[in-house]
Amino acid sequence: MPSVTPDDRAWPPVLKARWLTQTFVHWPYPPEKIQAVLPQGLVVDRYDEMAWVTLTPFLMADVRPPGVPPAPKFTTFPETNLRTYVHGPNGRDGVWMLSIEVASAMMLAAGRVVGAPYHLGDLSLLEHGGNIVYAGTRRGGAPGYHLVIRPGERIRPSDRDIWLTSRWRAYTRRLGVLIETPVEHEPWPLSSGVIEQESETLVSAAGLPAPAGDPVVHFSEGVQDVRVGGPRPLLGHRAEDTDAPPGRPGRGAGRTAP
């Protein structure tokens, strides 16, 4: 069960960063819709019998290897993740990235080493009249998103809030092998949030139907001490659909969750 503190150490870290001005927009989905876009070896995770997909734009700040001083011009930039929640072949919970939009070519190159679905884009994040405005378009003109959120009051996280936000590993695949990457940071300081404007085409680009119903929304000022551990290949657990692009169905898709 996800918890507010890490259940594993990201040690030794290979990257350090701050994640700031972060919004989480969560939509429920039928589990079979999500299972259909997962590679073999991952099983959809559920809360209240539903799978969930989360759009989360934020500012990646001071990202660098340990011991290297930040250079803000190059190490601070917007990023936006579209993710879902899974159990790995070892039973540990984590996230599967359906897509990652990033405004840094350096981060794009680093992420693709472990098979993360990074895409270079033109992204922006600004504060205006008490609202946070996020926008981005993938290079080439599509897909993209525009989100205006008004942060609310600090909340005491419920079990569902923790389940949706506090995940401590990401799964990716490279050359047919699933990879587990641990992450460690302090607990999220969470607030409520109200969406003032929202449009996006990232979900459909990931091979999913459009979200239905009102999302669950969280806002966080961010976390200051993020440590990303070294990727761990899960040898013996091959993601066989190596010809399928990230977020698309491949061999082994469509299995039912236990």
What is the DSSP track for 56-124? EEEEEEEEE-TTPPP-HHHH-EEEEEEEEEEE-TTS-EEEEEEEEEES-HHHHHHHHTTT--EEEEEEE
pTM beyond 0.85, yes or no: yes
Whether residue 243 is predicted with pLDDT greater than 50 in this model: the reply is no
- Position 238 scores a pLDDT of 55
- Position 110 scores a pLDDT of 85
- Position 68 scores a pLDDT of 92
145's CB contacts (< 8 A; 6+ apart) are: 55, 57, 80, 101, 134, 135, 136, 199, 200, 201, 202
CATH topology of domain 13-238: Acetoacetate decarboxylase-like (2.40.400)
The answer to whether the CB of 61 falls within 8 A of the CB of 74 is: no
pLDDT tens digits, 81-136: 999 999 999 999 999 999 999 999 889 888 888 899 999 999 999 999 999 999 99
